[in-house]
Structure 1
Amino acid sequence: MGLFERVTSNRTGAILIAAALLCSSGQSQAQSQAQSSGNGVSNFFGTIFSGQKVAAQPATPSPDGSPPPWSGEDGASGHPLMTASAIRQAAANFQNCVASMWPDAARRNITQQNFERFTAGLEPDLRIMDLMDSQPEFTKAIWDYLDILVNDNRLAKGREILAQYKPQFDAVEKAYGVDRYIIASIWGIESNYSTQVGDRNVVRSTATLACIGRRQAYFRDEFLTAIEILNRGDLRPEQMRGSWAGAFGPTQFMPTAFKRYAVDADGDRRRDVVDNVADLIASTANNLRKDGWQTGRSWGYEVVLPEGFNFMLADKSKAMTIAQWQSQGLKRADGKPFPDTTDKAYLLAPAGMQGPGFLMLQNFRVIMKYNPAEAYALAIGHFADRLRGGPPFVQPWPRQERVLSRAERLELQQLLAQRGLYKGTPDGQFGGQTREALRSFQASIGAPADGFASSDVLERLRGR
């Protein structure tokens, strides 16, 4: 929910981390505003593995410390609603657009008094247009981001949180059957344990996006739901601060996700996922449970791949039982037996033959529903394992590999397209289509078809 743009999913929190990581190799900013909605971890990982767009790192603030203004430029997406003239025209009509949503608000049982109260004085935040359509340049590899996200300081804080709120975690595990370490991991990665949740007004952000730009239909629902939350009294206006896409709270709920999953765990008749730890933990657990969490099961296993392994099998669509994977020569990296060989899993090999492999189970897919990026879910699962006392990954990452620039990623896709292997629109964002095309190219030249976009494979595509 969380290094990737989560405009189309529940959260945007981890997104903030990604942007922060881009401008610093030090402490991550798990929620600035770079996520799919702000700045985050989710955005970065989504770019590498899911083809999602990542929000830009924040621009330099004005000398007086105020947020930077809108650039006044066309958006990078090329969408007609993201041209500078369309943005200005929509901004000029902003007050009328907000007022036009009153009938829909009334159908949601929002009082006219509250609608007017919570929208009074709203002005569009046009800086969001730059964040929404940015095309950032990433210079870090997945292993660098995992190093930063799963670090000693965050692990220590996570263990403190688990001890401090043990009664709440006990109650939630009993009621929802969701692993406390996963919840604590999401909390830690999305907001660095409530220290980086974003500071944009959620109502203003969602109203801006509901009236301006290329995602108006989606954000109209988010805006009206944000008003519903305030009308019901679950949260106060000052509590609804978050990412530029509207995600708020320590585990980054979009307003519609709050509506679906938030619960009142302590019986005070408010669902407060911002300042009430019992509600926060229970609501996050309820989200995971409703998405299909399997109690007592792992998210997945680090595995060692045999020499000569057929990487065409490393595909989300090619799930097999653990027993079938074992017949392909896969073994757990820690040497332990698999608890249940009837479990179905798919293989993720994010660094190809040069890095570790992972068999992903149902609970991994559930984490991906929280944020649809494999690398985000990998970070959450691994962080949870470390919180419960598990070791780091056993196998090394190919840290010697140079990360391709965005221009090089775009060129790679274009070269694959020229060979008739890549059917998508080249955009510099790597997802399943790019990996499949890369595997086909690698196989055609007799190289291991692992789908890893190395500088060497780019040179081979160039024909040098």
Structure 2
Amino acid sequence: MTGKRTLAALMMAAALAAGSPAAAQEAAPRPDFAAWLKEVEAEAVGRGIRAETATAALAGVQHIDKVIELDRRQPEGTMSYAQYMERVVNPARVEKGRALLAANSAVLAEIERRYHVQPKYVVALWGIETDFGRVTGGYPVVSSLATLAYDGRRSAFFRGELLAALQILDEGHVTPATMLGSWAGAMGQCQFMPSSFLKFAEDWNGDGRRDIWGTVPDVLASASNYLLRSGWNGDQTWGRAVRLPAGFDAGLIGLDTRKPVAEWTRLGVTASGGKPLPKTELEGSIVLAEAGKGPPFLVYENFRTILKWNRSTYFALAVGHLAERIGGK
């Protein structure tokens, strides 16, 4: 009875609070889009962004209904791992990746010396994100982020990204007209959100601009810096396909379980072709490409680092496979 009375009292209190002046104030309608943009402009200036930058960047901003539609659209069906790999790691992309690895070998070697990330992984990420810069998105980033921030579903996150975008403009790395990206605000050939740009983007060629839109060395260095600062180990690989023995304990599957490779061998795990796993001091986890289905992989710490870039298991596996094929395997 005490619990029921407490619940009833809480509900009554909530109802009374809803009718209070404070609650009425909280429920007040938000300003229209133009007035809201003025609030953002004032906040940006308060954070040290020059008034002329904020005014110019926000002057032509429009609410993009298509962005809201895309944000709320639920995917129709689920792509299988095999379908995803066929689309993302296809022969044409492998061939193009090998050509670009060779064409950029000199700068990639210099970048590797600084960031300790193997070039094949950087090129693989570049290929999967934007098909090596071919598909970077045509949405005006400031308008997209303003639309999403105003929408209210994840307003705090996107407002922060919008303010970060204004800081990028204020620093002179790009102009509002050329600051294009995905509908969600991911920018340039490596598809960084503005906050990631501020943390990881690099000015490799030393021209004073971190240009992830049009300067390939900046793109490659920025991707490498992201991986390095997210935990990448340049002396290690990402993982490998494996074969699980009959009756394998499903409770051991998942990133929460880490074991030395020798222990996985003792448990009957082999390479996908049936050969013994390599002798190494690395620890790894068993993951399935599709939950409950497979195929299984033994993945190492670099796999977890790729997941910091994109939380999709499909994506991380595709990066590993594409890198191997670009590298000649």
TM over 0.5: yes
Find out whether 1:148 has 2:87 as its counterpart: yes
Q: TM-score, normalised by structure 1?
A: 0.62
Corresponding residue for residue 68 of structure 1: none
What stretches of structure 2 of length at least 5 have no aligned partner? 1-27
State the Cα distance separating 1:352 from its structure 2 match: 6.4
Higher helix share: 2
In structure 2, the residue matched to 1:379 is 318
The answer to whether the aligner puts 1:133 opposite 2:72 as a matched pair is yes
Is 2:263 aligned against 1:320? Answer: no
Greater than 3 Å deviation, 4+ residue runs: 89-92, 334-341, 351-355
Q: Distance in 2 between matches of 1:380 and 1:261?
A: 19
**Which residue, out of 185, 201, 209, partners 2:140?**
201
What letter corresponds to residue 220 of structure 1 in structure 2?
Answer: R
Indicate the residue corresponding to 1:288 in structure 2: 227
Separation in 2, partners of 1:223, 1:328: 50
What CA distance in whole angstroms lies between the structure 1 residues aligned with 2:291 and 2:141? 40
Correspondence for 1:308: 247
Q: Is this contact kept in 1: 2:243–2:296, CA < 8 A?
A: yes
State the SS of the aligned residue for 2:177. Answer: helix
Matches of 1:297 and 1:337, distance apart in 2: 19
Paired position in structure 1 for 2:5: none
Deviation string 1:237-278 (CA, Å, 9 cap, x unpaired) is: 233111111001111000000000011111111111110111
1:263 aligned to 2:202? Answer: yes
State the TM-score, normalizing by the size of structure 2. Answer: 0.87
SS across alignment from 1:184: helix
CA contact (8 A) 2:244 2:269 kept: yes
Deviates most, 137-146 or 287-296: 137-146
Give the equivalent residue in structure 1 for 2:295. 356
Alignment match, 1:254: 193
Identical-residue share of aligned pairs (%) = 36
Amino acid at match of 2:152: G
Deviations 1:119-167 (A, max 9, x none): 1121111221111111121253111110111101111111111111111
> Among residues 164, 169, 173, which one is paired with 1:234 in the alignment?
173
2:318 is the alignment partner of 1:369: no
Secondary structure at the counterpart of residue 52 of structure 2 = helix
Q: Deviations over 1:89-130 (max 9, x none)?
A: 989711111111233312432111111011112111122111
Aligned-partner Cα distance in 1 for 2:94–2:217: 21
CA distance in 2, matches of 1:341, 1:324: 11
**Quick one: distance in 1 between partners of 2:279 and 2:222?**
29
CA RMSD between the two structures: 1.8
The answer to whether the Cα contact below 8 Å between 1:91 and 1:212 also exists between their aligned partners in 2 is no
For structure 1, which segment, 240-249 or 106-115, has the greater mean C-alpha deviation from structure 2 after superposition?
106-115
Structure 1 match to 2:21: none
> What is residue 186 of structure 1 aligned with on the other side?
125
Q: How many residues of Structure 1 are paired with residues of Structure 2 in the alignment? A: 302
Q: Following superposition of structure 1 onto structure 2, how do residues 45-124 of structure 1 map, counting pairs within 5 Å?
A: 93-124=32-63
User: Is the CA contact (8 Å cut-off) linking 2:68 and 2:147 kept in structure 1?
Assistant: no
- Taking a change above 3 Å as real, the CA distance of residues 320 and 122 of structure 1, as seen in their structure-2 partners, is same
CA distance in 2, matches of 1:267, 1:345: 39
Q: Using the TM superposition, give the Cα deviation of residue 221 of structure 1 relative to its aligned residue in structure 2, in angstroms.
A: 0.8
Q: In structure 2, which of residues 111, 115, 118 is the aligned counterpart of residue 172 of structure 1?
A: 111
Question: What CA distance in whole angstroms lies between the structure 2 residues aligned with 1:91 and 1:340?
Answer: 62
- Post-superposition Cα deviations, 1:51-88, rounded to whole Å, max 9, x if no partner, equal xxxxxxxxxxxxxxxxxxxxxxxxxxxxxxxxxxxxxx
